[in-house]
Structure 1
Amino acid sequence: MTVRLDDAKVGDAVVAKSFPAITRAKLALYAGASGDHNPIHIDSDFAKKAGFPDVFSHGMLVMGLLGQAVTDAVSPDRLRAFSTRFVAITQLGAAIACEGTVAELFEADGERRARLALTARDETGDVKLAGEAIVAL
């Protein structure tokens, strides 16, 4: 269960959003919108020749899902920083669950802030992205 950020304490979950499975259509739409037409993400034959079982998601697509989860939980005008680290490839068909917990409460530049520890996991629980966000309280 998530709590309101204004009432949150260290360890509280404040971000929780799930996304449906990543489809070939979603990869194609993302490639068109982003301009990233790397064949590893859209051409099955190319991906298989490179040693993968099939195409896989753009890392930035998964990062965008995590960013959406954060800004659905916290108003974008309260976001001070957002960063991620790519941990593992996100396979075609993966459903992504994004979570964020309060890791630290502190003051900076005259405002109360929270550092959120973020993860994006697939349906098996494998972490695909890890990151953090700094938000004003």
Structure 2
Amino acid sequence: MKTKSFLEAADVDRILDAAVAEASANSWAVTVAIVDDGGHLLALRRLDGCAPMGALISVEKARSSAIGRRETKGYEDMINNGRTAFLTAPAYGFLEGGVPIVVDGNVVGAVGVSGVKSDQDAQVAKAGIAAL
């Protein structure tokens, strides 16, 4: 049996604080969601000025990234390149901005961000993860 890493509360706080700092440094009103490896919500912070829809979208981006074990940009690219049938898959976060948290080669969770351009959402998510 293998030993599995997991996110602790202090890890989640560190990721969330770094992601919020990146968004704030760029004056971006976003929502940041962090999930565990099963896509279960661990933290959510909606910054002032972010539309309420950002809370829903950020969670779905994080969930899709965690359970799919990849960045959600890959799904968006696949759909944009013509594989529209993928839109019928039983998930909803197929826009860039969901990034898996990988520790020792294993996905332990993901960060999803929504509120600005998709590449900027991903930038905020990656800044949060880099704090680990």
Query: TM-score higher than 0.5 here?
Result: no
TM-score w.r.t. structure 2 length?
Answer: 0.33
Higher strand share: 1
TM-score w.r.t. structure 1 length?
Answer: 0.32
Higher helix share: 2
